[in-house]
Amino acid sequence: MDSPKVINFILEREKLKAGTFAKAIGVTPTQIYDLQSGKTKKISESIANKIVNAFPIYNKVWVLTGSGSPIEESLQQVPIRDDDGEFFTENHNNVKFYNLGDRYRMVVKLVPFAAYGRFANECDTLEAEKEVWEEESFETDKIVHGKYFAFEVKGESMDDGARNSFEEGDRVLVRELDRMHWKDGLRFNDHPYWVVVFDSSVLIKQIVAQDLEKGTITFHSLNPSPEYSNFTLEMDKIRALYYVLQKKPRTVKY
């Protein structure tokens, strides 16, 4: 696949126009037009880096050469261990840590489906009902602070069949980003996937753009089906944002 086909593949899959795509990755529209037309023969290392930084789902080798799989398969997944570890400590946000020797087992509250609606409609903050909510385990190499939770994925909007996608039943470890940090610019190149709370919805999406002047954030679904198109929200209308740190694939029972 040559460079024009690579660019057109990405634009078609992301449902973006060349100018919008150029703005999202931080280049001029002319640079994208020239790649589309073949005037510029090869995607440069610099532009490839900008593409994979803005859209981490794409494989950099494929962007540069057109060879191999278009989709990057690098989302951190939770390893499976039999050892539960020995209790080590609990932080002030009720996250527990168990010593595994070289790492820690991190135990957080799993937000139940029933809490989604209450959280979106009634609550300003997500507070676990300790006696009701289940727990979920992940692994970390250090003791961390801040508000961490687990969410279970519902629906197919983030499932495109690739390893990086999120299937119904997968569970994700998230950390809340305080609203005071939103205006500084979201680090969505480092953390592309987010749980967003707005109106009566709690969704997991990929953030592909933030316009600080307009105060908006653009969200993207991995599923290429037309029903899952990109949408933009005003930051003032967003209730909460949590960035995804790890994914634990759903357990398949036979």
Q: Are 138 and 246 in contact (CB under 8 A)?
A: yes
Q: 50 - beta bridge partners?
A: none
Percent of the chain with pLDDT over 90: 37
Beta strands 104-110 and 148-152, pairing class: parallel
3-state class of 248 per DSSP?
A: strand
User: How confident is the model over 46-56, as pLDDT tens digits?
Assistant: 998 888 877 77
pLDDT at 128: 55
Lowest mean pLDDT among 74-83, 132-141, 178-187, 231-240: 74-83
d(CA 246, CA 140): 10
The topology under which CATH files domain 3-65 is 434 Repressor (Amino-terminal Domain) (1.10.260)
pLDDT at 77: 53
**Terminal alpha carbon distance of the chain:** 40
User: How confident is the model over 69-100, as pLDDT tens digits?
Assistant: 787 654 455 555 556 788 999 888 889 999 99
Say if residue 44's pLDDT is above 50. yes
Say if residue 220's pLDDT is above 70. yes
Q: Where are the domains of the chain?
A: 3-65, 86-248
In the structure, what pLDDT confidence band is assigned to residue 43 with cuts at 50, 70 and 90?
very high
pLDDT at 55: 79
For the record, the structure tokens of 180 come out as 């005071």
User: How confident is the model over 95-137, as pLDDT tens digits?
Assistant: 999 999 888 999 999 887 644 545 555 555 556 555 578 899 9
CATH number of 86-248: 2.10.109.10
